[in-house]
Amino acid sequence: MKPDANLDVNAPWSAIKVDKTEAGKTIYTALKAIDSLKVMFAPFLPFTCEKLHGFFNYETPLFGEQYTETVKDSLGEHTVLRYRDVGRTASPTYWKPSELEPGKKLNQPGPLFKKLEETVIEEERARLGK
């Protein structure tokens, strides 16, 4: 069963009143899925996934310290996102399954994205010629 369907079917917000263990299993399954998806989406949403990683209270960064660097090639100058290895072993294992343990204390979550004001959306559309 898909994690989102699992949440809908098992409704832990109601189940917690009857069976805390089952409600906990449902929530844990959803959190484990999110923890795994953050690794899959990290190349495309690095800052968002690093923020999620922090919510899960991991001690080391997802891929190391993020920094930007300007590189030159035959097409010109580009700003690229790089990672410095921080607090990892000699053989980094970045692309591994979720290590979220049941009962792990999580950090207080917050918004992952900032809501864009209509004016910003209009400016971006105008810039793109749409």
Domain boundaries, the chain: 3-129
CATH of domain 3-129: 1.10.730
At 64 the pLDDT is 74
Q: Exposed, middle or buried, 34 (CB in 10 Å: 0-12/13-18/19+)?
A: middle
pLDDT tops 50 at residue 29:
yes
Q: How far apart are CA 93 and CA 96, in angstroms?
A: 6
Q: State the distance between the two ends of the chain, measured CA to CA, in whole angstroms.
A: 40
At 93 the pLDDT is 53
Q: How many CA atoms lie within 13 A of 10 on its CB side?
A: 21
Query: Could you give the 3-state DSSP secondary structure of residue 130?
Result: coil
Report pLDDT digits (tens) over 37-56. Answer: 998 998 899 889 999 999 99
